[in-house]
Structure 1
Amino acid sequence: MYFELPDKKYFSISEVSKLFSVNNSLIRFWEKEFDQLNPKVKPSGIRKFTKDDIENISTIYSLLKEEGLTIQGAKKRLKSKNKINSNNLSIIKKLEKIKFELKNLKSNI
């Protein structure tokens, strides 16, 4: 899944959930399940996500929603850190960016 992120340092959980079209509660659940997600949490409990956090969420989203892995399967895949998997995800993200840009060009015609 490719999307353009605004040029800012932190994103709220609402902004992140809108990017992926999921509920805030699912983002919080993934935060508990996956060690890779570590948003900054203010004393008031408000979460602030960085672009790295969003990249990790994108990977988790891809594994769970697009590839159909279970939570355990996604955890294993993330822990393996296999170069082939990383390269595949990198290629997929580049292709998604190209697709996004082509759709934008098409809509401007």
Structure 2
Amino acid sequence: MPYKEPKIEKMYYAIGEVAAMFDVNTSLIRFWEKEFDIIKPFKNKKGNRLFTPADVENFHLIFHLVKEKGMTLKGAKKKLEENREDTINNFEVITKLKDIRAVLLEMKENLEGEGDADKKS
């Protein structure tokens, strides 16, 4: 049986890593941290913010509501406060549908590529 590298989950992410995940500036990450109570980074002795995977998931929710759905910060806060569970469920469904769409598009490209190869033969 071949050796598989174990997938190592990071315990903390630096602010630069989180900003890179969402392709935003670190200043926006700091701003969202102040605006949303659900983001609670650990700060080391130097004062550097260290975000947990749970914080990153919360950033995914905020990013989805604000950047993808176009909600205001006030609207996103209200949505997370009033029905967080529904918001999380909707976000998970949308994420899974995007993944399925990507797989289907890849399959379509592969099938079209095979069709082009058959024509050349």
- Which residue of 57, 60, 66 corresponds with 1:58? 60
1:9-44 alpha-carbon deviations (Å, 9 max, x no partner):
111100000000000000000000000100111121
Show the counterpart of 2:79.
77
With the length of structure 2 as denominator, give the TM-score of the two structures.
0.73
Show the counterpart of 1:22.
24
Mapped pair 1:47 → 2:49: yes
Secondary structure of 2:50's counterpart equals strand
Secondary structure of 1:25's counterpart equals helix
Mapped pair 1:67 → 2:66: no
With the length of structure 1 as denominator, give the TM-score of the two structures.
0.80
Structure 2 vs 1, CA of residues 43 and 104 (structure 1 numbering), >3 Å: closer, same or farther? farther
* Whole-angstrom distance in 2 between the partners of 1:82 and 1:11: 24
- Tell me how far 1:100 sits from its aligned partner: 5.4
Larger Rg: 2
* Whole-angstrom distance in 2 between the partners of 1:18 and 1:38: 19
Larger relative contact order (C-alpha < 8 A, sep ≥ 6)? Answer: 1
Structure 2 vs 1, CA of residues 106 and 13 (structure 1 numbering), >3 Å: closer, same or farther? farther
